[in-house]
Amino acid sequence: MNNWTIKVYESPTKEKPVEEFIKSLNEKTQVKIGRVLDLLEEFGLEGASSHIKKLKGTLLWEIRIIGGDNIRILYVTIKGKIFLLLHGFKKKKQKTPRKEIFIAEKRLIDYESRENTA
């Protein structure tokens, strides 16, 4: 099967903010996130369609973990069937806050600039 790969954004100082965010959540939520990531890895966008949404006007997609906390993980697809997880947060309002989108976009720019110089 043609599986996808999931990568997590790593800062220049080797921090992995999405991993840290997920580890800060309760075990039940971590399991839910793990299930959605497994679907993405195995089946790509089609396999997790009920848990993902394209953010209009951006390159970003959003993983939606519905529950008490309404967790969101922003990511992009990059060449070679790779999902790059950029930012995780607890969504408190109907609309995804611009601040959260900005963080993910900034990390994507950082990732691309370092990948292009590698």
Please check whether residue 108 is in contact with residue 84, taking contact to mean a CB–CB distance below 8 angstroms: yes
Q: What is the CATH number of domain 5-117?
A: 3.30.2310.20
Residue 18 has pLDDT above 90, yes or no: yes
Residue 118 has pLDDT above 70, yes or no: no
What percent of the chain is predicted at pLDDT more than 90?
Answer: 75
Q: Look at residues 42, 44, 106, 39 and name the one whose alpha carbon lies nearest to residue 74.
A: 106
Q: Is 43 exposed, middle or buried (0-12, 13-18, 19+ CB in 10 A)?
A: middle
Q: pTM, whole model, 2 decimals?
A: 0.92
34: enclosing H helix or E strand:
helix 27-43
Q: What is the pLDDT of residues 22-72, one digit of tens each?
A: 999 999 999 999 999 999 999 988 888 889 999 999 999 999 998 778 999
